[in-house]
Amino acid sequence: METFDARRLLPIIGPILFFAVWYLAVAYGLVNKVLFPSPFETVAHLFTSFGKGGMQVDVASTFLRTGTAFVIAAAIGVPIGVALGASESAYRSVEFLIDFFRSTPSSALIPLFLLIFGITDANKIAIASFAAFLVILFNSAYGVMNARKTRILAARVMGSNSWQIFKDVLIWESLSQTFVGLRTGVSIALVIVIVAEMFIGSETGLGHRIIDAQQVLNVKDMYASILITGALGYLLNLAFLLLEKRFIHWSGK
């Protein structure tokens, strides 16, 4: 019983250590106090800023952009990925393109997207969508291609034709891998939205807030915004893990 309780506390050791090192470094003057406020001040600022309207608007607009970009990416990426995965020759013929753009940092394409969309919200959403789309497509395609051969044979020997095998087996088989893609996709979308908010003109958003705070050396607000951005990314990831556990109940079994 005692060991059980102790084990449950293990995950909070890391954060406590992190804040302890931060606190001690500030307290003993190992870092510049102007650049590093103490963790207590930062967290206190985080909560007061959250009480004010500005932070809520920034969190909401970043979340909304990320969500929109992700939904568009998933709505296009999953069907195309599954279709490409079902025909290995089709996938092979576009594999290089996918791998090339997957390896290209999407932030490198921001100027290109600026030319097309201008300094708009659509621009930020489009580029985040594009980045998430590739990773979602790639994972869905591989989910289908790596379907268990035995299961496909089992369906075929029971008289299923290609279309039935596709909808009764391949789609289901691909779901675990598709969820990996969705989870990675939403993280990438958030990264790109934050970058876009920093460097493409923006009135709202956490990226905008972080760079604004940095420009006026409002370091407390900068750290608070960074922590909130991290929490947003973490919660999005966690939400997808829980969704996966709930709906892809057979995953890993």
Binding site for another protein (CB under 8 A): 148, 150-151, 153-154, 156-160, 164, 168-169, 172, 175, 249-250, 253
Ranges of beta strands (E only) in 40-186 are none
Shortest approach of another protein to residue 251 CB, angstroms?
9
Shortest approach of another protein to residue 169 CB, angstroms?
7
Shortest approach of another protein to residue 250 CB, angstroms?
3
Give the integer Cα–Cα distance in Å for 182 and 188: 10
Please give the DSSP secondary-structure letter assigned to residue 33: T
Neighbours of 191 (CB within 10 A): 20
- The radius of gyration of the chain's CA atoms, rounded to the nearest angstrom, is 22
Shortest approach of another protein to residue 91 CB, angstroms?
23
Ranges of beta strands (E only) in 102-226 are none
145 and 91 in contact (C-beta within 8 Å)? yes
